[in-house]
Amino acid sequence: MLRSTTSNWFGVAPAWLVIGIFGLLPMFIMLAISFMVQDPYGGVEWGFSTEAYVQFLFERDLDDSLILNTIYVNIVARSIGLAAMTTILCLIIGLPVAYFIARQPEDKRNLYMLLITIPFWTNLLIRTYAWILILTRNGVVDARLQWFGFEPGTFDLLYTNTAIFIGLVYSYLPFMVLPLYASLEKMDFRLIEAASDLYASKWQAARHVIIPLARPGIVAGSLLVFIPSIGAFIAPELLGGGKRMMLGSLIYFQFATARNWPFGAAVSILLMAFVMIALLVYARAAKGQGLPAGGH
């Protein structure tokens, strides 16, 4: 109102400086590095090359001919599959919960929200680590089974895809429930009465009134679960034992162990591409629903 355009730029300048230099610029540098050549000592050599992207699909034979290599494609498939399944399961678990909480009196609602928020802000590493204690051979469940005379190791899910899946659902479930709750809490519950007054059964009311009204929350929640799931690192590392890699662990491996920057950068770019696609789908679904276009 009383400030000039120049001073507006002064206000946002610190944010631009910090995020621009240390957040955005590294992303562009990473894009550039993905087109460079690996230096055997861990750095990069100058020069343009698509080798890192070729490496994703093919192996070079001794005579330099390309052989199809499905290892990385499998990792991509595992990442997308697990992320999609995680999103769906979170939605199935979360929707009834969000609805139940939204219908509680205000005091209880606040308490429930606090209970969901605490794990939300608790260290992901620790929350995932806790599952090792449960899923492992001689773990909490296996030990109980042994009381009932089962062999040790009857229940041993650690280092399986199932373990990663459980870990992902557990990690990101609050990300689904919170936006679902936000959209259901705003819902006018007289609409359900109106629906039943107009001869809708319980399930018809759910199908035609509640779920359409929860749609903004469903869309936002799915995005908030899908994006971190597809790039997950902690769950595959701790619960998959680092053997069943996802995109996140593949990237980590390239920098921590293999020291192949161009390939790691290329995989990161690929992961960003998937994120962008998810965002575009979100933007489309959000259109005309009054959702914030940016995401959060």
Partner 1 sequence: MRQPVGHYPGLRLWTALFFFFLYAPMVVLVAYSFNVNKLAMIWGGFSTRWYVKLFTTGGIGEAAMNSLLVAVIATCFAVAIAIAAALVLVREAGFRGAGLSNALISMPLIVPEIVTAVATLMFFVMLKNWIGFDLGLGNIIIAHCVFCIPFAFMPIRARLQDMDLALEQAARDLYADAWKAFRFVTLPLLMPGVVAGAMLAFVISLDDFIITQMISGPGTTTLPVYIYSMIRNGITPEVNAASTILIAVSTALVTVYWYVSRPKKT
- Residues 26-65, interacting with partner 1 (CB under 8 A): 26-27, 29-30, 33, 43
Nearer to partner 1, 19 or 66 (CB): 19
Among 228, 240, 245, 291, binds partner 1 (CB under 8 A): 228
Whole-number minimum distance, CB 173 to partner 1, in Å? 7
Among 69, 160, 161, 196, binds partner 1 (CB under 8 A): 196
- Of the listed pieces 9-17, 46-54, 66-74, 211-219, which binds partner 1 according to CB under 8 A? 9-17
Angle made by CA atoms 125, 131, 137, in degrees to the nearest 5: 135
The residues in 62-91 that bind partner 1, with binding defined as CB under 8 A, are: none
Among 87, 136, 183, 222, binds partner 1 (CB under 8 A): 136
89-to-136, 182, 221, 222 alpha-carbon distances in Å:
23, 19, 12, 10
Among 231, 263, 266, 291, binds partner 1 (CB under 8 A): 231
179-to-34, 216, 223, 293 alpha-carbon distances in Å:
36, 8, 10, 15
Radius of gyration of the chain (CA): 24
Nearer to partner 1, 58 or 295 (CB): 295
99-to-108, 115, 206, 270 alpha-carbon distances in Å:
13, 16, 10, 36
The residues in 240-269 that bind partner 1, with binding defined as CB under 8 A, are: 247-248, 251-252, 254-255, 261, 264-265, 268
Q: How far is residue 265's CA from residue 251's CA, in Å, rounded to a whole number?
A: 8
Q: Contact between 139 and partner 1 (CB under 8 A)?
A: yes
Q: Contact between 234 and partner 1 (CB under 8 A)?
A: yes
| CB of 169 closer than 8 Å to CB of 163 | no
Structure tokens that stand for 116 in this block: 């969901």
What single-letter amino acid sits at 7? S
Among 157, 164, 168, 173, binds partner 1 (CB under 8 A): 173
Size of the site for partner 1 (CB under 8 A): 94
Q: Write the DSSP symbol of residue 59.
A: E
Q: Contact between 5 and partner 1 (CB under 8 A)?
A: yes
Q: How far is residue 115's CA from residue 92's CA, in Å, rounded to a whole number?
A: 19
Structure tokens that stand for 169 in this block: 């659902």
Among 37, 85, 89, 134, binds partner 1 (CB under 8 A): 134
Q: Contact between 143 and partner 1 (CB under 8 A)?
A: yes
The residues in 95-114 that bind partner 1, with binding defined as CB under 8 A, are: 96-97, 99-101, 103, 110, 112, 114
Torsion sign over Cα 12, 17, 19, 20: positive
Whole-number minimum distance, CB 269 to partner 1, in Å? 9
Residue with tokens 């509680």: 104
In three-state secondary structure terms, 139 is: coil
Q: Contact between 25 and partner 1 (CB under 8 A)?
A: yes
